[in-house]
Amino acid sequence: MKNNKSQRQFLLIAFILNLVLLVPLALRKPPVKDWVIVYLFNALTNGIIDNVLSKKKIIKYPIKLFPKIFDTHELFDFLLYPTFTILYNQITYKDKVGSIIYKLFLITTPAFFIELWATRNTDLVKWSKKWKWYHTYFSIILKSLFTRLIIGSIRGIESKQSTG
């Protein structure tokens, strides 16, 4: 898949599919405000982190949907990963810590292998020699857990305020 045109088409298809799935996923079950918070927090922090990594040339995105607007991978940062985070938070909504971590590894691992494949077979993602597969894998896991902790804390504060 080294053809630039086919890689752009792949990104466009992923973009359209994500948009089609995002709204029903975000609205499918309450509390919708939690999913909006999760989405926005994840997208904002993704943009900041990826901007730093891109500026330091640790990660490059030679082929992007909007190359004149973003230096980062806008599709992953602002759509794919935040949408994944909504799904992850929905399926772990009432879970205990062990189950939250187990489900995270269960759904993160296939997504990671897709990125690993992309780094080796496309020009969508290029890692510098300083960046290894485990940096990506564990940073996604830690960031997803942190986002889950944030929304869990917000729910806890909200619960205390409504009962207190």
Domain ranges in the chain?
A: 4-163
Structure confidence at residue 75 (pLDDT) = 93
Structure confidence at residue 28 (pLDDT) = 85
- Spatial distance between the Cα atoms of 104 and 89, rounded to a whole number of angstroms: 10
* Residue ranges for the chain with pLDDT beneath 50: none
Structure confidence at residue 115 (pLDDT) = 87
* The pair of three-digit structure tokens given for residue 143, joined into one six-digit string: 């960031």
Whether the Cβ atoms of residue 160 and residue 62 lie closer than 8 Å to each other = no
- Taking 3-state DSSP, the helix, strand and coil percentages for the chain, each rounded to the nearest 5, stand at 75, 0, 25
Phi, psi of 125 (to 5 degrees): -140, 135
Structure confidence at residue 30 (pLDDT) = 87
